[in-house]
Chains A and B, each alone.
Chain A
Amino acid sequence: MLDHLKQSLDPALFWEYRVTLLAGLVENIAIFLASAVLASLLALAIGLARTSSNRFSRLLSAGYTELFRNTPEYVLLVWAYYVLPLILSRLLAQKLSISPVPAAILALGFAYSGFLSETVRTGLLAVPIGHREAAMALGMSRIDILRRIVFPQGLRRVLPDALNQYVSLFKATSIVSLIAVEDIMYQVSMINVEEMRPLPLYTGAALLYCAIVIAASQTIQVLTRRWRQRGWA
């Protein structure tokens, strides 16, 4: 029993490959950050469209949300990497390809914009209409009302929820090795080819992800509690 455990946990092996593994982790973090920015920007636009007074943009944005919320990240990833360049090549009548990293950022960014746009929508709806009307009555422009009145209140309310979405997004970066992005999972499988020791390698990767995510969620909980105490969120 103890022997098995010893086999599956071998910090020395991780230490030996620390540089390669760290490079992989950096790749994960870079993809996470880029797709988080992309997802957030898209989610703001889509969330706004979902609360628009225009029926057409409400319908269109609802379709967008449902499409990306209900398509698995893995499918989007493969689609962005293999299918998207094919379509673009046909459309532009020249051969195009897309590198793994941009494909991963696109796929994860769009996938999570679906989830996040729901969060944005909830936040926007939580701002009482009267707050907007007060600003309108004072002659504030539509853009100032959004920037100064609606977004600060609405987004603050959903910040804890949004942060949890970002944690999920970080977890989802573990699938990008499937299109040969050299992230931490990719490095682990490469090392495995050399060392033939899947047990400690994959267990280690699992623990590493787990540690990062737990640290992030704990930080979020502490922050959220503080915000609540101050009457935010």
Chain B
Amino acid sequence: MTGPQAKAALSVVDLHKSFGPLEVLRGISLDIAEGSVVTLIGASGSGKSTFLRCLNHLEQPTSGKIYVDGEPMGFRVDANGVSHPDAAHMTRMRAKLGMVFQQFNLWPHMTVLGNVIEAPLRVKRMRRDDAVTLGLQFLAKVNLLDKQNEYPARLSGGQQQRVAIARALAMEPKVMLFDEATSSLDPELTNEVLEVMRNLAREGTTMVVVTHEMGFAREVSDRVVFLHQGLVEEDGPPSQVLGAPKSPRCRQFLSSVRI
């Protein structure tokens, strides 16, 4: 078995995922270096979102291994180095991957601050005042300190998504996953979210970003991965993948996006 790379924050080995007869991921291997920003692009149906959702086991991979910080996802490794399937361990491992969804998915019955401190309280069992201090710190980071006591329904889409980012950050994850975080926002609201993501990248947050924002991919990412029919078709620095793609499919995709 191929082990995880030493410096990889996240390591994916031969990931397969099928929904019934439909094979969406057909063997993807990727190492995400610590502190790097990797953007996944590809046509709809290429498996980008499924790939992201397999990383934290929101979708159960059909086969393949995922290592977060060297630890296998969904398995507990005992003293002899043997792995055992372990659901409770997987729940804990999930907290190491922060996820931001296209639909924000804030909990409407909790205030903004309530949303942010919920997981630190329940999962990390933090004391309430510590969690609040932490939560406010991350709300400040996404520029929403003044909205801490509002309910999500009273916020704009862009504000809601920034709260969702703060909520994921509050668990201080190893890697942040962004699943089309700006796709359901009006164009004038995407920028405030992208700005927050840019800042995170600048601070050295390890990020895996599924996006249609080619400008963001070019400016911010260290690496762009083009997926096609469940396989990595092209992988390299943005200048190469977006500027001078080798694969004809990638070229075709980019021309269709640019219009």
Q: Could you tell me which A residues sit within 8 Å of B by CB distance?
A: 128, 130-131, 133-142, 144, 148-149, 152-153, 156, 231-232
Contacts and interface: CB of A to CB of B under 8 A. Distances in A.
Q: Looking at chain B, what size class is its interface with the partner chain? A: 20 to 34
Contacts, number: 73
Interface string B105-120: 1111100000000110
Interface in B118-167: 118-119, 122-123, 151, 153, 164, 167
A161 B123 CA distance: 33
9 contacts: A128-B105, A133-B105, A137-B98, A138-B98, A138-B118, A138-B119, A139-B171, A140-B123, A231-B108
Given A131-B105, A134-B106, A138-B98, 17 more contacts: A128-B105, A133-B58, A134-B107, A134-B167, A135-B107, A135-B118, A136-B56, A138-B94, A138-B95, A138-B123, A138-B167, A138-B168, A138-B171, A139-B95, A139-B123, A141-B122, A231-B153
Contacts of A128: 103, 105
Given A148-B118, A148-B122, A231-B153, A139 B92 contact: yes
Nearest to B92: A139
Contacts of B168: 137-138
Nearest to A142: B91
B91 A139 contact: yes
A148 B93 CA distance: 20
Nearest to B108: A153
Nearest to A129: B105
Contacts of A135: 107, 118-119
A127 to B, nearest CB: 10
